[in-house]
Structure 1
């Protein structure tokens, strides 16, 4: 990374940047990240938190890397918004695999914003995972093209799936649900991150019951039911879309650096979709079983490795889910 001018970073600005970064989605809202700021070099480390990993459903930490990649992208957007030019190095130390990135917060940011990050900033706080029904309205071609370009700008591919492929993915999700239900360890892992009753109001991690959305009476939306076997008062049931609008995001290779690339691309797509008035959710259920993951790929597609399935459409944004306090995730050295 070339040497660039550095300027002091006020604590209030730093905490704002980390708060924005931590608004990213993560598997089961585990928020598996920590940040360490080095005052002398104006550099922020992004570290994965293995204590918040999912050993049953994510043993290789692929989803953990995607989550942290999404936080890294949010950090880049927030830094540009604050007038900083973020210089990013991913996986800078082979001996420290949980040091996922270092971000040099040089000053000032180029006024032209060549990466096109500035317009995405408002969507950081507007984007929430929606487990509610979407309309069957098609996503316009120009919006699809913009989302495809968003993924490409971060080094990944995005493809909107055909109706037969969407039906296949929904079937794979149902297969994964059945497997999970029969696996006590996986059920226990999901329960660990499910927040019910009074706990839903005070939790800082996990998926609270007010974000579960209604039960699906009919339709084919691949939405994970976090309630599982638990009863949730006043939840209700309703019809979901019969033809879900799904997109698959993928990469050419399938290692830690590629997972971070996919996480950044995923977040860029989600923020772009939010700016364009779309509600979004993520569907990783089938990807958590290696044999099912390979089947989510369209055999007619050039995409090599599917990293995430996105559900897009017009409907309510989901509610904000809790976040860990900044003092829990940020250390200043």
Structure 2
């Protein structure tokens, strides 16, 4: 994974006689496609390339209003790369991961090269099992605090992938972050193109992508903004928590490769949280608005760049969102 097996951006792959097959890719693609993405746009494709597997950016699924520079798409592809890596490891076919965009093909955001065969580790097994159970939970959370041991696990998950996770502590600090998020949300709501694009991804019936209204219910008492995809607000939990744990994921820089890295770290945090029976929803509005992102950096007093805000706590399982047929995300092999 990124902590041990990832080579720097642009580094040459080690020469190996091991090769992935199309069957390896087809077996792993369903798990890869369970990654999160903005508006559930699923902006990834997978390709067998000279015995390696590439994760590519699918430009046809771009969000020009919400994600004009491709930040969100690169995070999503990084998350898909981690799922793909876990699925291969579970099959006894672990990978070394090279971060893109690759110099000779910028559409490749990650390349997985076969490593020596070995059985999966207990961590790989638990994270892989969490892939199918991970769903965003925008509803009300219980007041139970997240224990210190689980907070440490979340921070370590981000650090394993070369990123950091700041857990916002104290009502004043939490309200500061929530206030930044609310201002960003209001800014985006005034953008007609942004709101029109959001409406395009709202789904009222079965669809392989987008956000169904019946999975978009939100916590009516929450201080963090949620996207207005529709659906009724969930009833408040018994003795609801006024402030769930707020976590901010960040990376050292904001280069395209670091955004891919942040996506890998984000997915590891989300899967770790799912394994700990924690509910998580992502709040990207303060990242999407440049002025809000800078305010967030100043409020955290943290070196680096914020890449995602999350609310974390205990609550009922979230609703799954649809996914495309995995075969539709796999390109023909390139040899």
Partner of 2:321: 321
Instruction: Map 1:99-248 onto structure 2 (within 5 A).
Output: 99-109=108-118, 111=119, 113=121, 116-162=123-169, 163-196=171-204, 200-201=205-206, 203-214=207-218, 216=220, 218-227=221-230, 232=231, 235-236=232-233, 238-239=235-236, 241-248=241-248
Which sections of structure 2, spanning at least 5 residues, go unmatched?
1-12
The correspondence for 2:28, drawn from 17, 42, 45, is 17
Cα deviation, residue 30, structure 1:
0.2
Give 1:118 deviation, angstroms: 2.9
Counterpart secondary structure, 1:189: helix
**In the alignment, which of 77, 84, 108 is matched to residue 75 of structure 1?**
84
Deviation of 1:285 (Å)? 1.2
1:244-273: per-residue Cα shift (whole Å, max 9, x none)?
211000011111011011100010011011
Which residue pairs with 1:269 in the alignment? 269
Counterparts in 2 of 1:245-260, with a 5 A limit? 245-260=245-260
1:56: Cα distance to partner? 1.6
Q: Secondary structure at the match of 1:168?
A: helix
- Superposed displacement of residue 67, structure 1: 0.7
**TM-score, length-scaled by structure 2:** 0.89
Task: Say which of 35, 51, 57 aligns to 1:48.
Answer: 57
How far does residue 301 in structure 1 lie from its aligned partner after superposition?
A: 3.1
Q: Distance in 1 between the 2:173 and 2:58 partners?
A: 35
- Runs of at least 5 residues in structure 1 that lack an aligned partner in the other structure: none
Structure 1 SS opposite 2:117: coil
Mapped partners of 1:299, 1:191: distance in 2: 32
Contact preservation (8 Å) 2:181, 2:286: yes
Displacement of 1:222 in angstroms is: 3.5
Q: Number of residues paired by the alignment? A: 317
Question: Is the Cα contact below 8 Å between 2:101 and 2:257 reproduced in 1?
Answer: no
Q: CA deviation at 1:206?
A: 0.5
Deviations 1:32-72 (CA, angstroms, capped at 9, x unpaired): 0011113xx32111110122122222211111111110001
Post-superposition shift, 1:106? 4.2
The answer to whether 1:3 aligns with 2:15 is yes
Q: 1:138 to 1:222 in 2, by over 3 A?
A: farther
Distance 1:50 1:8, change over 3 A: closer
What TM-score results when the alignment is normalised by the length of structure 1?
A: 0.89
Aligned-pair RMSD on alpha carbons?
A: 2.0
Contact 1:215 1:225 in 2 (8 A): no
Asked whether the 8 Å contact 1:220–1:244 carries over to 2, the reply is no
